Chains A and B, each alone.
Chain A
Amino acid sequence: MALPSALHVVEHNAVVFRRLWRGNIMVSFFTPLFFLAAMGIGLGSLVNRSSGGVNGVPYLDYLAPGLMAAAAMQTAAVEAMYPILNRIMWDRIYDAMLATPVAVRDLVFGEVAWFAVRMVIVTAAFWVVMTLFRIGHLPESLLAVPAAALTGLAFATPVMAFTATRRNDNGFAAILRFVITPLYLLGGAFFPISQLPLVLQWVAWATPLAHGVALCRGVVLANIGPGEAALHLLVLVVYILAGLALAWILLLRRLSK
């Protein structure tokens, strides 16, 4: 059966991943496990004792779904940097692919489809850990997997567009240090955004993370209305599509000289 070329790009990434998946999934599983254990036993009990949790929810229940979205963001950002730049200019895998019927369009859609696969793996592992901690209502909490995966994608496509403009990896550490890490810590996963100064609140809500966190938390705690959920979803989808369009344009410019 003839498959669209974009799927062959996914296959390529899957073959590469086959070598790494064991270690990769261990990390996706144990990182949230240790994190939630430490937070639940240590910090969580402190918060709960002094204030009865956040917004009336035990701290761990509040934290876990937000952390799930933030973890997806972190993985997505890194995956859209080094491996993509490697394929553009170090190993030049894209040049090899483009000498075949594969076109730049197929590269872009293939990579985005692969990001989606990776995001589902990471967030599903997180969900398993979260559920082991008896956080969230089943089965609604399962919706946190696509919600967090979309959060990851909302970072993956714009970061991929950024990567398409890079001549070296110097910019990556800066993005991780000055965008991703601050968002991770301040973007709503650990404490409500309303605790931030007003200006920073605006900044936070302009990023996909705040919306992804709100959506994940809403579906896990089953306390979000459909209108609010749709709004968060819309923001994520806009980021994904805008990033995809930009990545496409920039990669076309970069790769077909």
Chain B
Amino acid sequence: MTDSSPSDLIVARGLTKRFGDLVAVDGIDFTVAGGEAFGFLGPNGAGKTSTMRMIGGVSPVTAGVLTIFGLDPAQHGAQIRARLGVVPQADTLDLELTVRENLIIYARYFDLPWSEGRKRADELLEFMQLKERSKDKVDDLSGGMKRRLTIARGLINQPDLLLLDEPTTGLDPQARHLVWDRLYRLKQRGVTLVLTTHYMDEAEQLCDRLVVMDKARIAAEGSPRELIDRYSTREVLELRFPIDEQPNLDGKLKDVAERVEVLADRVLVYTSDGDAAVAAINRHGIRPESSLVRRSTLEDVFLRLTGRRLIE
């Protein structure tokens, strides 16, 4: 358990969420400091959204302690939410209104004057590259545009803390890079980001620090680099074999591999020296269909921690 300091925006100790008998979040501890980008990486059902909704002050905490900006969400929910930007997992845009109206009316919920709402709406539409679509009905937007609009909406109150629940799930690579770029710029402006994802590349790109969540608990915590160093090897040799022709590798790679994972569609050889591992494979007369040496990623960390893959 880490000590908290006044600069911490979020402090959670033994944070628990139950829905009836189901434990969605099981006594987790974490701290988010001002200005950092903090991530929850985990598979479906890990408890990411449940955690985010508690931080967002909309879902009551079942047990444990949670403070946001030093305040208790059960007591000061409205006060906390006034300083938060929220991008929920499922878009909750108003389909009966235009793109611009969605932002302007949202500004009203924060008690911003209409004129200020209009000004910020136009700035944010520019920022998220949606200006040309201002007058369109939200229903006519593509999924990626809706996502960008939801992010724009979450910024309308110029939040100190932005909560993003799977900001880029379902987006094509181009749209995803635009979102990443914008989030990066926000971070540079000092906005604290808390995001969930099940994309390891997203976590690596955006997060200064993250926790790996699995089955309602935190399995590990650290920067992406630290986690990879701690739970994986420097390099990974990926081997693919024709279906149903996985060779018996038992012991053959003992000298060059720290660990070998046999997955349904490939074999992963964890090693500090990929080329040496390739040489060893050849020496043993093993002939994979293809082989590739790559650096370790958070996917490997997750596999190591849970024995499962992040996206099944």
A contact residues vs B (CB 8 Å cutoff): 2-3, 5, 8, 11-12, 15-16, 19, 91-93, 95-103, 255-257
Contact = CB atoms under 8 A, between A and B. Distances in A.
Interface residues of B, number: 29
9 closest pairs, A vs B, by CB? Answer: A100-B109, A96-B92, A99-B86, A101-B78, A92-B92, A8-B108, A95-B92, A101-B82, A16-B96
Interface in B29-52: none
Interface in B194-208: none
Interface centre among B59, B77, B105 (most CB of A within 10 A): B105
A101 B109 contact: yes
B110 A101 contact: yes
B101 A2 contact: no
B108 A2 contact: no
Given A16-B96, A16-B97, A95-B92, A101 B105 contact: no
Contacts of A103: 77-78
Contact of B59 (A2, A8, A257): A257
Contacts of A3: 111
A1 to B, nearest CB: 9
Interface of B: 19, 56, 58-60, 77-79, 81-82, 84, 86, 88, 90, 92-97, 101, 105-106, 108-111, 153, 157
B156 to A, nearest CB: 9
A99 B60 contact: no
B118 to A, nearest CB: 13
A100 B106 contact: yes
Contacts of A95: 58, 88, 92
A101 B92 contact: no
A5 B106 CA distance: 12
Contact of A257 (B19, B77, B84, B97): B19
13 contacts: A2-B111, A3-B111, A12-B105, A12-B108, A16-B97, A91-B96, A93-B94, A95-B92, A96-B94, A98-B58, A99-B81, A99-B88, A256-B59
Given A11-B108, A100-B106, A101-B78, A91 B94 contact: yes
A118 B96 CA distance: 18
Interface centre among A3, A5, A15, A95 (most CB of B within 10 A): A15
A96 B157 CA distance: 14
A11 B82 CA distance: 19
A36 to B, nearest CB: 32
Contacts of B101: 15
A89 to B, nearest CB: 11
B109 A256 contact: no
A96 B106 contact: yes
Given A16-B96, A100-B109, 19 more contacts: A3-B111, A11-B105, A15-B101, A16-B94, A91-B93, A93-B92, A96-B88, A96-B92, A96-B93, A96-B153, A99-B56, A99-B84, A99-B88, A100-B82, A100-B157, A101-B79, A101-B81, A103-B77, A256-B59
B163 to A, nearest CB: 9
Given A101-B78, A103-B78, A8 B109 contact: yes
A93 B88 CA distance: 12
Contacts of B97: 15-16
Interface centre among A12, A92, A97, A101 (most CB of B within 10 A): A101
Contacts of B95: 91
Contacts of B153: 96
Nearest to A5: B109
Contact of B81 (A8, A93, A100): A100
